[in-house]
Each structure stands twice: as C-alpha cells, then as structure tokens.
Structure 1
Amino acid sequence: MFALVTALLLASTAAQVPIAAGRAAQGTQPDRWLHVRVDNQEAKGELVRINLPLSFAEKVLPTIKHDKLRNGKITVDQANGVDLRALLEAVRTTKDGEFITVQGTTGDVRVAKQGGYLLVHARENKDGSKKRVEVRVPLTVVDALLSAGNNELDLVAGLRALGSQGDTELVTVKDEKSTVRIWLDSRSTSD
C-alpha cells in the first residue's frame, strides 16, 4: 500500500509540472521552476539537483511518446483495480475532510482534502524503517488533469495549472539513507 500511495503521489506531481510552463511561456508571470533535490546520506553521499523551468517542460512533454504517454496526455486504465480518473473526480467534487486513515503495524497512511489541496501522508514502520512520504497536490491541478476526457490525464494542462500556484512544497520523501524533495518556486536554483 505504501508503494502504491507513493507512486500515485509522484505521478500526480509529475503531471502538475506541465501546467505552470504554459502560463510562464505566455508572459503573464515570471517563469516558474520545478525543483527536485535528492540527498543521499550513504557512504558516497551523492547529491542530485534538478531545476526545470515549467515552460520548458510544457514544450517538451508533448514530444515524448512512450508507453501510455502521447502528446502530453497519459492514458489511464485502472491502477490495481482502481479507476484513477473516477477517484480524482470524486476527490475534486467532495467537501474537505479526512478520507482514509490506515494505522498498521508496518505503517500509517492518511489521505485528506484540505484548503484546496489533496494531501497524502504515509509513514513506514517496518524493520526499523523511518520512511515518510508527504504529498500536496493543488486541486486546480487535479481539475486540469481531468480536462483531457475519458481515460486520459492532460499532463500539459496540469503543468499550466501548477504554474499558477505560488511557491509550494509538492513532495517530500525521507528515510534513513536519503531525502527527496520536490517543490515549485520562481528561482532557477535549488539552494
């Protein structure tokens, strides 16, 4: 379950990136930047930083044709028996609240809608692991993703919607060995 929640969150975040690019390219606001930072605390201690202008992502995404990704849209069937599109539509149209809380011996998961965001918090507790995932998806991005029609998510529209957001933290993943952070702001560096 922890892996499924993490995958869905990362997919949602990736889908959000293309939205901001369009607005920046139109010149209505300063270019927005998507940042990914990976800090590895293991012996080699690698540090990865990705700083991507959303305008670039919006232009490049439609050129990628791989598996279910075509023309900036991704075909979604069902993920582990869940109709992702129907699930996102249901979340978008319901009132704020806490939808899922799972507390188990191997981890905890919480899914909620609050203040215009879909929030997912997951924590793994097995074998001494201290893995934690936090995701914040603006609901305007969910709306944009759903604009493609049946069985598709419009990633480019999602990026454009993301670009209209202020500075925001999207994803944080932490464990004993590494930290991954994905966020959006108007700076070209990820200091």
Structure 2
Amino acid sequence: MFALVAALLLASTAALVPIAAGRAAQGTQPDRWLHVRVDNQEAKGELVRINLPLSFAEKVLPTIKHDKLRNGKITVDQANGVDLRALLEAVRTTKDGEFITVQGTTGDVRVAKQGGYLLVHARENKDGSKKRVEVRVPLTVVDALLSAGNNELDLVAGLRALGSQGDTELVTVKDEKSTVRIWLDSRSTSD
C-alpha cells in the first residue's frame, strides 16, 4: 500500500513542480524560488539540486506544448477512475479535518485538511523500513488550479498562487538510501 500511495503522491508532485516553478516578481517582494533537492546515499550516490525562480517558470510554462500540457494548462481526465478536478474541488470546499487514516502492519497513511493546507503523510512499517512521504499543498494553489474551467488545471495560476506563499515545505520523501525535498523560499540557493 505504501508503494501505491508514494507513487500517487510522487505523480501529484510531478504536477506540482511546474506549478511551484513560476510567478512574476511583484513590486518590492523578493523573488520566490522553488527548490528540489535529491540526496542519494548509495555507492554511486548522486546529488541533484534544482533552483528555479518562479518568475522564470511562469514565463516558460506557457511555451511548453507536450501531451496534455498546453498554454500553461493541463487537461485532466480521470486517473484510475478518480475525477481529479472533482476531488480537488471537494477538498477545497470542505471543513478542516482528518479525512483518511489507515494504520496497517505494512504502513500508515493520513490525509487531512488543516490551516489552509491539504496534508498527506505516508509511512512504511515493514521490515524496519524508514520510508516516509509528506506532502503539503496550500489550498490557495488548489483554488488557482481550478480556475481554468472544466477538464483543465491552470498551472500558471497555480504558480502565481504559490508565489504568494511564505517559505514553505511542499514535499519530503525519505528512505534508507535517499531523500527528496521540494520547498519554496526567497533564496536562490538550496544550501
């Protein structure tokens, strides 16, 4: 179950990275930067650092035309029988609370809405594993994504909404061999 949840969360994160990557600088506000850091502890461990100004991503995203991504918007169909747009709309309009809690012998999953964020936490419990996934999505970003209309998510609007956030952790994935971290702040480096 952990593998399925982690795969779904990472796929969702792939959609959030472009969202998190763009916003034009406004007035005296400092530029916002999206950071992705991957540390692999294996023998040939690779370190990956990506630092993107949101203003850059906001300008570049509309120029990409690939598969379902066009003009800064992505067409969404049902994913594994789930209407993603309807799901996001339901989360956006419901009260804060803990929606899903699964505690099993192989792992734990928690999905909640709290303080303006959609929170997803998953942890694998088998064989002494230390695998953990944490995702924090600002609901203002969900609102902006839904502004596109039917069957589309407006990624550029999502970028702009993300840029109005303060420093925030978006995604953390950890296991025995690697760590992935995605966050937003006003620094151009990921030290």
Shift of 1:65: 1.1
Deviations 1:126-173 (A, max 9, x none): 344321100000000000000000111111100100000000000000
Q: Is the CA contact 1:18–1:162 (under 8 Å) kept in the aligned structure 2?
A: no
Shift of 1:27: 3.2
* Distance in 2 between residues matched to 1:65 and 1:7, nearest whole Å: 25
Q: TM-score, normalised by structure 1?
A: 0.91
Shift of 1:99: 0.2
* Distance in 2 between residues matched to 1:3 and 1:157, nearest whole Å: 31
Shift of 1:4: 4.7
Identity of aligned residues (%): 99
Give the 3 Å change call, closer, same or farther, for CA 56–133 of structure 1 in structure 2: same
Give the 3 Å change call, closer, same or farther, for CA 141–72 of structure 1 in structure 2: same
* Distance in 2 between residues matched to 1:122 and 1:65, nearest whole Å: 33
Q: Is the CA contact 2:21–2:52 (under 8 Å) kept in the aligned structure 1?
A: no
Q: Is the CA contact 1:34–1:183 (under 8 Å) kept in the aligned structure 2?
A: yes
Shift of 1:67: 1.1
Q: Is the CA contact 1:96–1:114 (under 8 Å) kept in the aligned structure 2?
A: yes
* Distance in 1 between residues matched to 2:72 and 2:185, nearest whole Å: 22
Q: Is the CA contact 1:12–1:137 (under 8 Å) kept in the aligned structure 2?
A: no
CA RMSD of aligned residues (A): 1.9
Q: Is the CA contact 1:64–1:71 (under 8 Å) kept in the aligned structure 2?
A: yes
Q: Is the CA contact 1:42–1:177 (under 8 Å) kept in the aligned structure 2?
A: yes
Match of 1:22, SS state, is coil
Shift of 1:66: 1.1
Name the counterpart of 1:78.
78
Q: Is the CA contact 2:171–2:181 (under 8 Å) kept in the aligned structure 1?
A: yes
Higher relative contact order (CA 8 A, sep 6+): 1
Give the 3 Å change call, closer, same or farther, for CA 40–158 of structure 1 in structure 2: same
Give the 3 Å change call, closer, same or farther, for CA 26–175 of structure 1 in structure 2: same
Gaps of 5+ in 2: none
Match of 2:179, SS state, is strand
Give the 3 Å change call, closer, same or farther, for CA 148–186 of structure 1 in structure 2: same
Give the 3 Å change call, closer, same or farther, for CA 87–56 of structure 1 in structure 2: same
Paired residues in the alignment total: 191
Counterparts of 1:2-151 in structure 2, within 5 Å, are 2-16=2-16, 23-27=23-27, 29-151=29-151
